[in-house]
Structure 1
Amino acid sequence: MDPAPDAPVLIVQHESTVGPGNLTGWLDAQRIPWQLADARASRYPERPWRAIVVLGSEASAYDDTLDWLRAEKAYLQPLVDSGTPVLGLCFGAQLLAVLTGGEVRRAAATIRGWTDVRSEEETLGGRWLSWHGDEILPASSAEVVARSATCVEAFRVGPHLGLQFHPEVTADIVAGWTEEDFGASGLEAEASRVERDTASCLTDATVGAAAIYERFFTRVPVES
């Protein structure tokens, strides 16, 4: 069943440092209502959703020792199966892969920084921020639509879209992650690399993020 015209988008957040960033501003500008759910609290509203956005996390999508992650999977699985469109971002894309029959495993290298992404789809190709230590092995039913030199960067399964990179990031989000991962580790050169690339890439990436959201959300069916 299609959602009502005023059905909100559910945004699932896992950590305070990994927020929806520029996404909520875009939704507000389009007058698309949204609601935030804290995955760690394992409490989800029971209502129809226009779509679901699953944000990033420091956790691994295959870590079944986490009570909140088991609860999140149990909540999302029937919605994914019934066709409620899901946009997965980084960990969210990994979780989407698991829920659609794919796998996630530890990557050969941890990626922290701006990454060249190749795609035949104009909205997906370009320089995007990647910040992950796991990689996606999509299901055979999935369509891989973007790659980088190290991993699958985007895939589709039905109405769902998984992005290994982070289109939602803002300058404050990137600065926070950079400080957290590099600031106290004596990795000034790595921090400087991310800061320099952010200065040159973020504006274009923010424009590109809006194009991704436009394409994803305009595909979501809404009753007239």
Structure 2
Amino acid sequence: MKPARAVAIIHSDSDVAGSLPDLFADLGIQLEINPVSAGLPAPEALELAVVMGSPESAYDHRLPWLASELEWLQAVQARGVPTLGICFGSQLLARALGGQVYRNAAPEIGWTPLDTPDGWAHKGPWLNFHFDAFTPPPGATLLGKTDLAPQAYRVGRAMGVQFHPEIDAQMFDTWTAYWRETEEGKRFLASAGDLPERMRAEIEAREPENRVNCRELLRDFLSHI
């Protein structure tokens, strides 16, 4: 039976879920936004979980909330709760299921089409913005990859995607706000030139097509749970 309610875990109180609230609503599912700072919902209370992105690394145990979120996600998986991980969320989900996360050889930034060795229909192109990468967990089906990193996997009732299918201009604006407010972000902006402006313009231009692609991706995820 299709869930009626989903919970999206965000990793900063200023984060947003992009197009996901509207697209889940189109599919008859109410999406509740839950900042990690507010505490994590009881696994037994969940119908569907979405673990969102973060500029942090999924292996950085200096983060005060990381160990507890990883433990929570392992409990969620033990209960068989349908789970979608996005970018950082796909990496943490991979860890929870026995995979690994590591600093990638090079960052992957921009709209990239996927190679789909299993014949997966969702080739994109999708927006990538990441410096780390994952190994798919044991027993997972690799759904998509690029030359730089694995991009999507499915295992049981869980799916992880390294890219950002939910991206829209409002969400990108929270990224640029983070870059302006943090030392790490300022270092990135100092070397980025006009990349942020070009990225935002392309996100706006691609938004109608990307929403269609994201809706179909969500339909695919829901069809396997």
Q: Secondary structure at the match of 1:185?
A: helix
1:199 positional shift: 4.4
| TM-score w.r.t. length of structure 2 | 0.85
Are 2:210 and 1:210 aligned? Answer: no
Are 2:56 and 1:56 aligned? Answer: no
Query: 2: CA distance between counterparts of 1:35 and 1:45?
Result: 14
Query: 2: CA distance between counterparts of 1:161 and 1:57?
Result: 17
Cα distance change on mapping 1:140 and 1:59 into 2, 3 Å? same
Match of 2:199 among 178, 186, 194: 194
Q: Residues 13-36 of structure 1, C-alpha deviation per residue, up to 9 Å, x if partnerless?
A: 112454211111112223312322
1:67 positional shift: 2.5
Contact map agreement 1:103 1:138 (CA 8 A) in 2 = yes
Query: 2: CA distance between counterparts of 1:121 and 1:213?
Result: 13
1:45 positional shift: 4.3
Give the structure, 1 or 2, with the largest relative contact order (CA under 8 Å, sep 6 or more): 1
Cα distance change on mapping 1:64 and 1:150 into 2, 3 Å? same
Q: Secondary structure at the match of 2:164?
A: coil
Match of 1:151 among 143, 149, 152: 149
Further displaced range: 30-39 or 50-59: 30-39
* One-letter code aligned to 2:16: G
Aligned sequence identity (%): 29
What residue in structure 1 maps to residue 135 of structure 2? 137
Q: Residues 110-158 of structure 1, C-alpha deviation per residue, up to 9 Å, x if partnerless?
A: 2232222222211x20211111110011123111110112100101111
* One-letter code aligned to 2:145: R
Structure 2 residue ranges without an equivalent (≥5): 180-184
Query: 2: CA distance between counterparts of 1:212 and 1:103?
Result: 24
Query: 2: CA distance between counterparts of 1:65 and 1:163?
Result: 24
* One-letter code aligned to 2:218: Y
Match of 2:38 among 37, 41, 57: 41
* One-letter code aligned to 1:208: N
Query: 2: CA distance between counterparts of 1:143 and 1:18?
Result: 30
1:178 positional shift: 4.8
What residue in structure 1 maps to residue 79 of structure 2? 82
1:46 positional shift: 5.7
What residue in structure 2 maps to residue 101 of structure 1? 98
Are 2:120 and 1:121 aligned? Answer: yes
Query: 2: CA distance between counterparts of 1:135 and 1:214?
Result: 25
Structure 1 residue ranges without an equivalent (≥5): none
Query: 2: CA distance between counterparts of 1:187 and 1:34?
Result: 34
